[in-house]
Amino acid sequence: MSTVHDRVIDALEGRVPDRVPILDLVSEYAAVYEILGKKRLPMDWVFTNPYTSRFIDRAYPFLNKLRVMENEIERFTHDRTAASVKLGSDAAWVIYAPVWRLRGAKVADDYVGRLWDLVPDGHGNLSTPMYKGGLIGSSTDWAAWEKRDLLRLPERANRFMKRLQQDFGQDLFIFTSVFSGIFENTWQPLGFERFAVAARKEKEFVRRLIRFNTDLCCMFIEAVADAGIPGYCYGDDMSYRSGPMFSPRTFEELFGDSLRRITETAHTQGMKIIVHSCGNTYKLLEWFADCGFDGVHPLEPTAGMELAEVKEMVGERMALVGNIDVSYVLVDGSREEVYEAVEQAIHDAGGGGGYILAPNHSHGTVSVERLRWMMEAAHQYGRYPLAV
């Protein structure tokens, strides 16, 4: 294994590495191509220009047959990983999601039955599509939903991830995920209100959806493990800024067995697995540890998550990952403010190992310059034995 792999594994297993590892989440066109020093065709122009957008509105069935969106996502994902290496990261969360299909120039659907708005990022590119609503209204709709592309995705992920690991795996500890987790993949095709009702009144239908999504997630994990990928980031947003979307008890009843099966699958394959859930997750932390996750991300500071408190609660059971703010610090913060945020995070969570420094998100306004400041500060303050 390489030095970066040793560093990340030490942190995930609660040992003291040579320094605090750095994970990045760069996933926006503008930042990726600024890091790589490349210029790309302005994608938002293609989708917003009245002439080209009219063509897309008419030709999208043909474009879908050519798998235009899926192929573009794979090309960008390769570039995105190259950007992580060039930035100097130890690890990267590389989301693999060639799952969208055009319904015109402004809207797409995906393999599991969701609608998405196609949104410009303000820098001449398209941003990550924004969830618009669900297309599955009933168990009959789900039974009739075409699942062929979805069921082929693990094989496609295996082929692509072999290439990614071969190209970048020596220089980068890759955490991947194959689009969303089972909670999002269960409720979003229905819509949240419809899901909440079904969870009470149509329990067998909901259990069937959860079983399907659990089986699929485990297939994804086995597919990317076979490709040599060492880590999986199970991304599944389960909290608002005020706290969990459901009670911990309800989450356990609906999803506990599934999450334990997912972590067991990863560990059986020799992979590390961390959980990403936005929002205030204090009430879910012990549950995440009980389910067998090796680490937890993003510990969102704008949702009230404080690293020192999380370290005290679950630092002996899971590695802590993230907490560097992307609402201000990595967008408009001064160099001093970025350094201060990194120093504080390492002080609060780095003692005794078990911490991976990372932004809590990626979006179009995150500054590449400030990401580089974050890296510099991590090298300055993160060497063991810590001076902070």
Say how many Å lie between the first and final Cα of the chain, rounded. 29
CA distance 211 to 135: 19
| Predicted confidence (pLDDT) per residue in 140-160, tens digit | 999 999 999 999 999 999 999
Q: Among 37-41, 307-311, 323-327, which stretch is predicted with the lowest mean pLDDT?
A: 37-41
CA distance 291 to 116: 31
- 99 contacts 2 by C-beta, under 8 angstroms: no
CB under 8 Å to 109, separation ≥6 — which residues?
100, 101, 103, 115, 116, 135
CB under 8 Å to 384, separation ≥6 — which residues?
16, 17, 18, 19, 20, 353
The pLDDT value recorded for residue 1 is 67
Residue length of the chain: 388
Token pair recorded at residue 253: 């009843």
The pLDDT value recorded for residue 133 is 97
The pLDDT value recorded for residue 29 is 87
Give one word for 242, left, alpha or beta, with left for phi > 0 and alpha for psi -120 to 50.
alpha
Across all residues in the chain, what is the average pLDDT? 95
Helix/strand/coil (H, E, C) string of the chain? CCHHHHHHHHHHCCCCCCECCEEECCCCHHHHHHHHCCCCCCHHHHHHCHHHHHHHHHHHHHHHHCCHHHHHHHHHHHHHHHHHHHHCCCEEEEEECCCEEECCCCEEEECCCEEEECCECCCCCECCCEEEEECCCCHHHHHHCCCHHHHHHHHHHHHHHHHHHHHHCCCCEEEEEECCCHHHHHHCCCCHHHHHHHHHHCHHHHHHHHHHHHHHHHHHHHHHHHCCCCEEEEECCCEECCEECCCHHHHHHHHHHHHHHHHHHHHHCCCEEEEECCCCCHHHHHHHHHHCCCEEECCCHHHCCCHHHHHHHHCCCCEEECCECCCCHHHHCCHHHHHHHHHHHHHHHCCCCCEEECECCCCCCCCHHHHHHHHHHHHHHCECCCCC
- CA nearest 374: which of 69, 146, 87, 93? 87
Q: How far is CA 288 from the centre of its chain?
A: 16
| Predicted confidence (pLDDT) per residue in 342-354, tens digit | 999 999 999 999 9
% of the chain residues with pLDDT over 90: 90
| Predicted confidence (pLDDT) per residue in 89-125, tens digit | 999 999 999 999 999 999 999 999 999 999 887 777 7
Q: How far is CA 306 from the centre of its chain?
A: 21
| Predicted confidence (pLDDT) per residue in 208-255, tens digit | 999 999 999 999 999 999 999 999 999 999 999 999 999 999 999 999
CATH of domain 3-32+67-97+135-381: 3.20.20.210
The rounded radius of gyration (Å) of the Cα atoms in the chain is 20
pLDDT of residue 333 exceeding 80, the answer is yes
pLDDT of residue 65 exceeding 80, the answer is yes
CA distance 319 to 355: 6
The pLDDT value recorded for residue 341 is 98
Quick one: angle between helices 68-87 and 50-65, nearest 10?
A: 100
pLDDT of residue 42 exceeding 80, the answer is no
Q: What is the pTM of this model?
A: 0.96
Q: Which amino acid is at 295?
A: G
The pLDDT value recorded for residue 124 is 74
- CA nearest 227: which of 167, 162, 170, 157? 162
Residue showing tokens 């969208």: 100
